[in-house]
Structure 1
Amino acid sequence: MSCYCDGERPKIYSASRRIARKAHRCDECCRTIQPGERYEYVFGVWDRPEQFRTCQHCLALRNYTRDNVPCLCWMHSNMINDCIETLREYAHELPGLLFRGYRLQIAITGRKQNNRNAA
């Protein structure tokens, strides 16, 4: 099965895993990435240069989805919704697939709430 994604492809795209030296905001869940935490840093050029940071909790959802479905199409800043929608599409093929995705989503949401309460 081939995978076709109809979103705009960047002209330049570079992704790397980093360890935060200072606090950053996750562009997916908006939680604070604390110094010492691992995260993904992306630089890309679509219409204009953009950069994105994704915390390890959001990466866990994306990795889980990518590892369990034949095609994952997602866009930065909407990755959580894109992953859950994709898991819904394939849920009939693998019992428990969507349940685990929801658990990861709730873990992200819970961390986001805890982060707000700490501020």
Structure 2
Amino acid sequence: MNPNRLSEAGMSCYCDYDYSEFPTLYAESTVKARREHRCCECLGAIKTGESYQRRSGKWEGQFQSFKTCQRCIDFEANIKAHIPCFRVCSIGDLIQDAVECLLDYREEASTLLFGAYRRDILRRRNATAIRATRAA
């Protein structure tokens, strides 16, 4: 039995989510980048030709569009495969929500927590690089 798989271990989920920001309109698609974009989750580059997920909608009267790289999509899918109740509370909070959720399951999902910490460090480095570029 895989110790990281909660459903196999017969463990129950103890999640408590409060979704307060539902969009009034929403569309989601997977597309190939025709130019370079920035991932809204890890702040990494989505290079030309790479697939990414585009989510568009109307939140609180404003139309917005978000792009998520394939690496972050795979990361979220991997966590959901091991912790089925995992949910991202708002777009752009994947890594923070993953760390918080995985801390609750650190005994059962320690390798996933390690991966989330690595992504958090990478996101911080990307944010620092973006700020340095803008300041120059």
TM-score (normalised: structure 1): 0.76
What CA RMSD, in Å, does the superposition of the two structures yield over aligned residues? 2.8
Whole-Å separation in 2 of the counterparts to 1:20 and 1:107? 25
Report the structure number with the largest CA radius of gyration: 2
Map of 1:86 onto structure 2 = 101
Alignment of 1:60-71 (within 5 A): 60-71=74-85
Preserved contact between residue 29 and residue 112 of structure 1 (Cα < 8 Å): yes
Aligned partner of 1:5 among 2, 17, 34? 17
Is 1:14 the counterpart of 2:24? The answer is no
Is 1:24 the counterpart of 2:37? The answer is yes
Aligned length: 115
Map of 2:48 onto structure 1 = 35
Whole-Å separation in 1 of the counterparts to 2:39 and 2:112? 25
Map of 2:7 onto structure 1 = none
What do residues 66-88 of structure 1 show as CA deviations (whole Å, max 9, x unaligned)?
A: 11113122111111111121111
SS at match of 1:39: strand
- Greater shift, 45-54 or 70-79, is seen at 70-79
Whole-Å separation in 2 of the counterparts to 1:2 and 1:9? 22
Whole-Å separation in 1 of the counterparts to 2:66 and 2:16? 23
Preserved contact between residue 33 and residue 47 of structure 2 (Cα < 8 Å): yes
Distance 1:71 1:11, change over 3 A: same
- List alignment gaps of at least 5 residues for structure 1: none
- List alignment gaps of at least 5 residues for structure 2: 1-12
Aligned partner of 2:57 among 39, 44, 63? 44
Whole-Å separation in 1 of the counterparts to 2:63 and 2:82? 31
Query: Deviation at 1:19?
Result: 0.7
Query: Deviation at 1:35?
Result: 0.5
Is 1:77 the counterpart of 2:92? The answer is yes
Preserved contact between residue 61 and residue 83 of structure 1 (Cα < 8 Å): no
Query: Deviation at 1:100?
Result: 4.0
Identity of aligned residues (%): 33
TM-score (normalised: structure 2): 0.68
Query: Deviation at 1:4?
Result: 5.6
